[in-house]
Amino acid sequence: MKTNILFSLTLLVLANAASGDTVSQPARPETGPLRITPELITQFAEEMRTKHPALQAAEATVAAAVANEATVRRWEDPMLRFGGMAAETMMRADEGDLLYGIEQKLPLFGKPQASRSLARAETGVATADAEFRFQRLRRDLALAVFQTALADRVVEIGRQDLDWLETLVAVAKHRYEAGDTTQLDVLRLQNERARRQTRLQTETDMRGQARVNLNRLLNRPLDSPWPNLLLPDVARPVAYSPRLMELALKFEPGISLRRQQVTQAEAAVTVARRERYPDVSVGAEARNYTGNGEFRQGMLMLGFNLPLGNRKRYAAAIRREQARAQSIELELADAELALRNEIHELIVRIDAARREALVFQDEIAPRSRAALASAQAAWESGRGMMIDLLDARRMLLEAQVMQARAVAEQYEWLSDLVLCCGIGDLEALEMIGALPEQQNGEDTR
pLDDT tens-place values along the chain, 445 residues long: 333 333 333 333 333 322 333 333 344 444 578 888 767 777 888 899 999 999 999 999 999 999 998 888 888 888 888 888 888 778 877 777 788 888 888 888 888 899 899 999 999 999 999 999 998 898 899 899 999 999 999 999 999 999 999 998 998 899 888 888 888 888 999 999 999 999 999 999 999 999 999 999 999 999 999 999 999 888 888 878 787 888 888 888 899 999 999 999 999 999 999 888 888 889 888 888 787 878 888 888 888 888 777 888 989 989 999 999 999 999 999 999 999 999 889 989 999 999 999 999 999 999 999 999 999 899 888 888 889 999 999 999 999 999 999 999 998 888 888 887 766 443 444 555 544 444 333 333 3
Helix (H, G, I), strand (E, B) or coil at 79: strand
Question: What's CA 343's distance to the chain center, in Å?
Answer: 17
Q: Which residues have a Cβ under 8 Å from the Cβ of 64 and sit 6 or more positions away? A: 126
Which phi and psi angles does 165 have, rounded to 5°? -65, -40
Provide the pLDDT for residue 31: 59
Provide the pLDDT for residue 314: 87
Provide the pLDDT for residue 423: 60
For every residue of 139-200, DSSP letters joined together read HHHHHHHHHHHHHHHHHHHHHHHHHHHHHHHHHHHHHHHHTSS-HHHHHHHHHHHHHHHHHH
Dihedral (CA of 402, 406, 407, 409) sign: positive
Buried-exposed string 38-76: b where 16+ CB fall within 10 A, e elsewhere: ebbbebbbebbeeebeebeebbebbeebeeebeeeeeee
Give the C-alpha separation, 184 to 206, whole Å.
33
Provide the pLDDT for residue 157: 95
In the chain, where the domains are located: 8-74+109-277+311-432
- pTM summary value: 0.79
Instruction: Assess contact for 321 and 265: CB atoms under 8 A.
Output: yes
Provide the pLDDT for residue 106: 84
Q: Which residues have a Cβ under 8 Å from the Cβ of 88 and sit 6 or more positions away? A: none
Instruction: Assess contact for 36 and 10: CB atoms under 8 A.
Output: no
Give the C-alpha separation, 67 to 445, whole Å.
52
Provide the pLDDT for residue 366: 94
Residue 371 belongs to what H/E stretch?
A: helix 365-380
Give the C-alpha separation, 122 to 350, whole Å.
37
Provide the pLDDT for residue 325: 94
Which parts of 241-364 fold into alpha helices (H)? 242-251, 253-274, 311-359
Provide the pLDDT for residue 11: 35
Give the C-alpha separation, 107 to 68, whole Å.
19
Instruction: Assess contact for 33 and 442: CB atoms under 8 A.
Output: no
Q: How many Cα atoms occupy the beta-carbon half-sphere of 312 within 13 Å?
A: 1
Q: Which residues have a Cβ under 8 Å from the Cβ of 29 and sit 6 or more positions away? A: 225, 226, 227
Helix (H, G, I), strand (E, B) or coil at 284: strand
Whole-Å CA distances, 294 to 76, 89, 93, 284, 363: 32, 14, 9, 18, 108
- Fold of the domain spanning 8-74+109-277+311-432: Outer membrane efflux proteins (OEP) (1.20.1600)
Give the C-alpha separation, 333 to 339, whole Å.
10
10 Å Cβ neighbour count for 222? 11
Give the C-alpha separation, 405 to 357, whole Å.
8
86 dihedral zone (left: phi>0; alpha: psi -120 to 50; beta): beta
Give the C-alpha separation, 207 to 383, whole Å.
40
Provide the pLDDT for residue 438: 44
Sheet with 280-288: list strands edge to edge. Answer: 79-84, 98-105, 280-288, 295-304
Amino acid at site 7: F
10 Å Cβ neighbour count for 323? 12
Provide the pLDDT for residue 12: 36
Provide the pLDDT for residue 4: 38
Give the C-alpha separation, 38 to 8, whole Å.
8
